Structure formats: C-alpha cells, structure tokens
Chain A
Amino acid sequence: DGGITQSPKYLFRKEGQNVTLSCEQNLNHDAMYWYRQDPGQGLRLIYYSQIVNDFQKGDIAEGYSVSREKKESFPLTVTSAQKNPTAFYLCASRSRDRGSNQPQHFGDGTRLSIL
C-alpha cells in the first residue's frame, strides 16, 4: 500500500545533540512538508519542498534543517539550536496534479522528547 512512513515513532534528544527524523513516501508525490504540533495546538509549518533539491522555510524554521536529495525522502534534522524541541512532528506529502484540489497525506508522526 502507498503511504508515508515516519521513523522512529519515539525519539529522545540529549542537550547539545542533533537528531534526524526520517520521512519516506511511496506515493510519487512531488511536494513534502514538515509540521510541528504542540499539545492542544494546531500545526505549524517548519519546511516544505516542492521538488527534489529545493526547499523553503515555513513559519518556524529556526533550529531545524532539511534536505531533499530524493523524491521519496525528506528528512528533518532538529539541531541543538532548537531550544524547545519537545513536540509531535508530522510529515506530509501532496501530489501537484490538478492544482489545489489535492489533499495532503500524513505520516503517523514522531514524538520527540528531551532527556
């Protein structure tokens, strides 16, 4: 079945450490997104990518970095510069066919906590 796979499901970060969250999709979607979700809150866009080797900052990109070397993969690195990384991270993808009519498809998320 086609879908989006995020790993790991749970991740712990030590002070001063960078950690990388994986997001892989086999939906052949061009666009991919990373969101942060804090308890009881909505989604905030971190980064997005419309094509391979290109990505743009979202609303809260500081302390995060991404790469898009393959269409299927869009890993997110939470750097030590992100002082409050504890949150639920969601990856999404979207087909760019037929303009705005296509929904975003989401993975099951990675929950990141500070040790």
Chain B
Amino acid sequence: DAGITQSPRHKVTETGTPVTLRCHQTENHRYMYWYRQDPGHGLRLIHYSYGVKDTDKGEVSDGYSVSRSKTEDFLLTLESATSSQTSVYFCAINPGSGGGELFFGEGSRLTVL
C-alpha cells in the first residue's frame, strides 16, 4: 500500500458542471501525476506536479487544471465538464527523485452526461 487514495471513486455529472478530483498521499512525496485512461488509448498524462505550487502540463492537458497547495493533495479540476472527459482517472506518486517508479491509486471513474 503506497498510501495513495483518490476521491471520489465514482462520479456522474452533467455537461457544463465543474468537477474536482482529489488525490491524497500520506508519504509526503514530491512528485504526483494525473492520468486518464480510455479504451484504445492506454494511459495519457494530463498534468503532473514536482512540488507545492509547482505543476506542469502533460500530453492531454486541455480542459483540465490542477492545484497543489500542500504536499499531500493534488487536485484535478474540470472547470466545465464535457462528455469527452468521461474517463477513468488515475493519480500516481513517485517515491523517488523523479525516476520512473510510480505507485498508482485505484482510479476515479467519471461519467459526464
């Protein structure tokens, strides 16, 4: 157990509403990541963070924003959800110094109607 939890685990919302997903870690690791996974696409990196208030974009960042005001929480926000953002969202933490060994959360399934 890498001490990473995601909330909510399941959410159904309507187009145009704001949605925030939370990733919480108990280990105070510096690096955190948000991915989305869709059929036929594997996992795609949305945003990542390398410290408090330090974030950067991944390969599919349009329509998403993130915030990291404290080490343990990395929030992913959809300002105005669209049906194309229906997906499973995974958070990950890196216990090292930025290498490739990540630990993933259990995922948050978001459905936008």
- Do A and B truly interact? no
Chain B positions within 8 Å of A, measured between CB atoms, are none
